[in-house]
Amino acid sequence: MITLGIESTAHTLGIGISKNGKILSNAHDIYKPKGEGIIPRKAADHHMDVLPQILTESLSKAQIALDDVDLFSFAQGPGIGAPLSVGCVAAKTLALKYSKPLIGVNHPYAHVKIAESLTKLRNPLILYVSGGNTQILIEEKGKFQVLGETLDVGIGNLFDSFARATKLEYAHGSTLEKLAKGGKYIELPYTVKGMNLSFTGLQTAAIRSLQKHSAKDVSYSLLETSFSMCCEALERALFLTRRKSILLCGGVAQNKRLQQMLKILAKEDKVKFGVSPDEYNRDNGAMIAYTGELLYKKKGTKPIEKWEPEPFQRIDSL
Ligand code: FE2
């Protein structure tokens, strides 16, 4: 079975193709706002502009034609309404034109499923970290439970807001990581409530600290503090659930310092640790194709016209 998946929940338009669980291609383009956050309308315009080119690229890498696709899938939510609609409409149009089934995929669920497949971890305790989300999850009898999560902003959005305050040209977590290299530690607010986290106090204090300290030192301290918070909450969940492995996934999972901290934590607590290659942690279409196929084979799908984006869809509501 060949599945084409479209990702468009936020700044990335990604189109991936999978065949019987194997990834054939994974093309993408990112909307990069300068000096501002994601403007929904501009993100949607970007996705509409690049969609034909990314579709062509993905098909040619996979060496297939649209006629060969057996199932079309799209990221249904959570995400930003306007860009989400672009992916949904594109997938619906293709499914109708080629008379093939359509399936919507929860974005965090896709991050988890592709990461489980690539790391070969079974029943892990999951730390899902991205722009809008920061969650500690477990799957039990096919249902996801959120054991802990951010009570305000997602960790990735914390980094993006701070990066904008430092006037980085491309305000994104990855640029912050580069800036933080060689920085010195300064104390910042640290807020863990059981297995939940709060980042807004840290965000305000970090931005204020820029008046007294260098952007390098504050960036370094912001990353160290927020990642330590995630580790503390995750370790509490590990002792509670007694899971034998930790899976790190989502866009912020690409951060090498966070990976290093969790590797140390896993070693000390004698559990396995797994993280996917960066290509599958950033937002991507391959994970939507892979997971679309998985869901379709498990439970089929509903008529094309019944599918619509769900900007506030939660993994524990599935
Ligand atoms: Fe994501």
Based on the domain organization, do 96 and 136 belong to the same domain? no
Provide the pLDDT for residue 71.
Answer: 98
Q: Are residues 29 and 61 in the same domain?
A: yes
Q: What is the pLDDT of residue 245?
A: 98
Q: Is residue 285 part of a domain?
A: yes
Q: What is the CATH number of the domain that holds 171?
A: 3.30.420.40
Q: Separation of 261 CA from ligand 1 center, angstroms? A: 21
Tokens matching residue 186: 């300064």
Distance CA 241, CA 150 (A): 19
| pLDDT reported for residue 173 | 78
Angle between helices 81-97 and 40-62 (to 10 degrees): 40
Q: Of 192, 225, 242, at which residue does a domain stop?
A: 242
Number of domains in the chain: 2
Whether 46 and 155 share a structural domain: no
Q: 39 Cβ partners below 8 Å, 6+ apart?
A: 33
Contact between 21 and 290 under an 8 Å Cβ cutoff? The reply is yes
Of the candidates 157, 148, 302, which has an alpha carbon nearest to the alpha carbon of residue 230?
148
- How far away, in angstroms, is 199 Cα from ligand 1 center? 19
Q: Report which DSSP code applies to 93.
A: H
pLDDT of 167 reads 85
Q: Ligand 1 (ion): which residues have CB within 5 A?
A: 130, 283
In a domain, 257, yes or no: no
Distance 107 CA to ligand 1 centre (A): 6
**pLDDT tens, position by position, 196-243:** 999 999 999 999 999 999 999 999 999 999 999 999 999 999 999 999
Residues (pLDDT < 70) of the chain are 171
Contacts of residue 268, Cβ cutoff 8 Å, sequence gap at least 6:
none
pLDDT of 169 reads: 73
- Tokens representing residue 25 in the block: 């291609």
DSSP 10: S
The answer to whether residue 264 is domain-embedded is no
In the chain, % helix, strand, coil (3-state, to 5) comes to 50, 20, 30
Predicted pLDDT at 237 = 98
What residues contact 205, with CB distance under 8 A and at least 6 apart?
Answer: 188, 189
Rounded distance from Cα 129 to ligand 1 centre (Å): 8
In a domain, 265, yes or no: no
Beta-bridge partners for 72: 4, 102
pLDDT of residue 241: 98
- Using alpha carbons, select from 163, 218, 129, 223 the residue that is nearest to residue 36: 163
Last residue of a domain, one of 242, 263, 294: 242
3 state SS of 34: coil
Q: Look up the domain containing 134 and give its range.
A: 125-242
